Chains A and B, each alone.
Chain A
């Protein structure tokens, strides 16, 4: 058991820090949260800077254009960029963390050459067409249909909760290609160009007031058969590859951020006098223990993926469960520290508190995660 970094890892960290110190002051001001074209431009600009400096696709395999950095280097990258206040992966999230790794793992040589470089260079944005109005947690119940017509699939149906749909170039789309097969077996994974005729995007307003995601309506959209990643009707397995990435590494920077927020909160409490309340103080102390442990869990999971050499494991569900609830508790505690100020929508705290409500729902609700932990880790029988 070791928590010391090797000299190579420390050197990687030092070079990264130096680079961040140089480039971050040159960034343009952050765009407003609802100005999606500006956000796209900002996020892709940052991605381009990472690419030019050799930090793009750090954890991707070399033949997919990545750097094949070790999981520890990837961890250091996420830790340092967050600490330095670098931009979040933002609009590039799906491309870099879902679609890209899936294509890298399951795509043909042509597919990898076509789709991966623009993601890494910050030229194309992806969105995720998984959830449907009647298939959220029960993802395999999706009904969007795709018929073969010559060299194309013809796709009709609708998707929901699609982040970045307004500014996306591509959509990783799950469609039903065999309606007679058992529900997990008749699904295929397609790369759909978002400018194809028949696609309508309607932004949805979140409870936080932002237009974070959208509904996507598909009316006989033609997608070339060549855009299918993995065999026909094998999309469920392909998707599981994607989801394991999503649950494995998605929250590293956020844990670092939560620890910073907790420190800010303590200083705020000291300033406004609420620090004198021992109950509140002890809650902050317990949250400190919580986020320290979540950071250790991150390091443990990274050590594990380094040992097993690859795809992040199912332990991601354990992390996601604990983290999503801890984050909500952090912002509920923030509200108690801030008092009436916590009702001011112009404060970042308030918006973050509202958005924290999505964490126990997105990427599989806590209830689904508990089923996964119980059935796949603990081996409890499947129920209804």
Chain B
């Protein structure tokens, strides 16, 4: 048993991070917040890099990789706060023409919400009667729909991977700030109260990481449910604690922390949410398989 990233997986992770740093760094992120339109050129570039066709067989023009690789790519997307209906388009690759290459933007009904409805070329699910909301996340336009649709476990897993990436990024940002920001004549990271916030952030990230990676390997619905719970916790609490470490600066629009927190909230509302996952995991405890 070798539950570790392979060399190829590390290379893939580094490649996606490099692409996103170059094409969707801080400046592009802030520009997107000011003018939240979907960047079609970037979408096609992601398509060319194989982001959407990652799990499509090579015979069908895809990259032919599996869930673990997809999870690594979506983790990077989460770190970078990459906007757009990434999960819906990825899941549509091979089914909706143009989705695999990034020519087509695909939105989908997930729970009772649809992300990026107005920008999408194709929508999966029934959006009759969709009503636009003023979305809490400035980079995720949202519509409510009257008839909800249940989401695929793979969608839940890729969402968990995005949450993981966001949690890892807010942990890094908090640590960076705690090392640089001085108060009372020393970096605030020397204070135990701050240190302990950061340590707990890392612990939540690492626990979510192994849960998400293991679920990617097994593709087991219960593993995915567990991964979702832990990744939501890591992303939401991580962003909150990151904001706390940043103090007053964290409460400003200029800081990126709120973008992570708001996106984490949006992702946590995708699919069925925590209650269903907890119920399924509880139910399983009674099954003979759990012994």
Give the B-binding residues of A (Cβ under 8 A). Answer: 1-6, 9, 72, 75, 260, 262-263, 265-267, 270, 278, 281-286, 288-290, 292-294, 296-297, 299-300, 302-304, 306-307, 315, 318, 321-322, 367, 369-371, 373-375, 377-384
- Tell me which residues across on chain B come within 8 A of A260, comparing CB atoms: 291
Known contacts A72-B1, A289-B277; A371 and B192 CB within 8 A of each other: yes
Query: When the two chains form their complex, are residues B226 and A1 in contact, meaning their CB atoms are under 8 A apart?
Result: no
Residues on A with C-beta less than 8 A from B175 are: 378-380
Given A289-B281, A306-B2, A381-B179, list of 6 further CB < 8 A pairs? A2-B3, A260-B291, A282-B282, A285-B280, A288-B284, A296-B214
The smallest C-beta distance from B245 to any residue of chain A, in angstroms, reads: 11
- In this complex, which of A5, A266, A296 has the most chain B Cβ atoms within 10 angstroms of its Cβ? A296
Which of B101-109, B149-157, B201-209 sits within the interface?
B201-209
Given A1-B4, A1-B213, A381-B186, A286-B281 contact (CB < 8 Å): yes
CB distance from B228 to the nearest CB of A (A): 9
A373 and B203 contacting across the interface, CB-CB below 8 Å: yes
Contact flags (1/0) for B199-223 with A, using CB distance below 8 Å?
1101100111011011011100011
**A-B residue pairs in contact (CB < 8 Å), sample of 19:** A2-B217, A5-B1, A260-B291, A283-B278, A285-B282, A288-B285, A289-B226, A296-B3, A297-B206, A300-B3, A306-B4, A318-B206, A370-B196, A371-B192, A373-B202, A374-B195, A378-B198, A379-B179, A381-B179
Is there contact, CB below 8 Å, between A286 and B278?
Answer: yes
Contacts of A9 in B (CB 8 A): 1
Decide: A382 near B284, CB < 8 A? Known: A6-B1, A289-B277.
no
Residue pair B2, A374 in contact (C-beta under 8 Å): no
B254 located at the interface, meaning its Cβ lies under 8 Å from any Cβ of chain A in the complex: no
Complex Cα gap A127–B286 (Å): 40
CB proximity of A355 to chain B, nearest CB, Å: 23
B202 adjacent to A281 (CB under 8 Å) = no
Q: Which chain B residues border A266 with CB–CB below 8 Å?
A: 282, 285-286
- Chain B residues with CB under 8 A of A307: 2, 4
Q: Is the CB of A299 within 8 A of B229?
A: no
Q: Say yes or no for B16: interface residue by CB 8 A criterion.
A: no
Check A303 against B4 for contact (C-beta < 8 Å): yes
Closest to B71 in A: A1
Interface size grouping (class) on chain B = 35 or more
Given A318-B206, A383-B191, is A289 in contact with B229 using a C-beta cutoff of 8 Å?
A: yes
- Neighbouring B residues of A383 by C-beta, 8 Å: 186, 189-192, 195
* Residue from the list A3, A283, A375 in contact with B3, Cβ < 8 A: A3
- In residues 167-204 of chain B, which contact A (Cβ within 8 Å)? 175, 178-179, 186-187, 189-192, 194-196, 198-200, 202-203
**How far apart sit A307 and B9, CA to CA, in the bound complex (Å)?**
15
Task: Sort A-B residue pairs by CB-CB distance and give the 8 closest, nearest first.
Answer: A285-B278, A285-B282, A383-B190, A266-B285, A289-B226, A374-B195, A285-B281, A380-B189
A286 touches B229 (CB 8 A): yes
B259 at the interface (CB under 8 A from A): no
When chains A and B are docked, how far (Å) is the Cα of A17 from the Cα of B182? 58
Closest to A308 in B: B4
Tell me the smallest distance from the CB of A311 to a CB of chain B, in Å: 17
Report the bound CA distance from A159 to B250 in whole Å. 47
CB of B279 within 8 A of chain A?
Answer: yes
CB neighbours (8 Å) of B279 from chain A are 278, 281-282, 285
- Say whether B68 faces chain A, with CB atoms less than 8 Å apart: yes
How many Å lie between the Cα of A379 and that of B179 in the bound state?
8
- Bound-state CA distance A286–B284 (Å) is 12
Residues in chain B near residue A370, CB distance under 8 A: 192, 195-196, 199-200
Asked whether A378 and B191 contact (CB < 8 A) given A297-B210, A303-B2, the answer is no
Answer whether A289 and B211 are a contact pair too, CB < 8 Å, given A2-B217, A296-B3, A306-B2: yes
Within the complex, the shortest CB–CB distance from B222 to chain A, in Å, comes to 8
CB distance from A257 to the nearest CB of B (A): 13
Cβ of A233 to closest chain B Cβ, rounded Å? 29
- Contact indicator B195/A296 (Cβ below 8 Å): no
Q: Is the CB of A267 within 8 A of B286?
A: yes
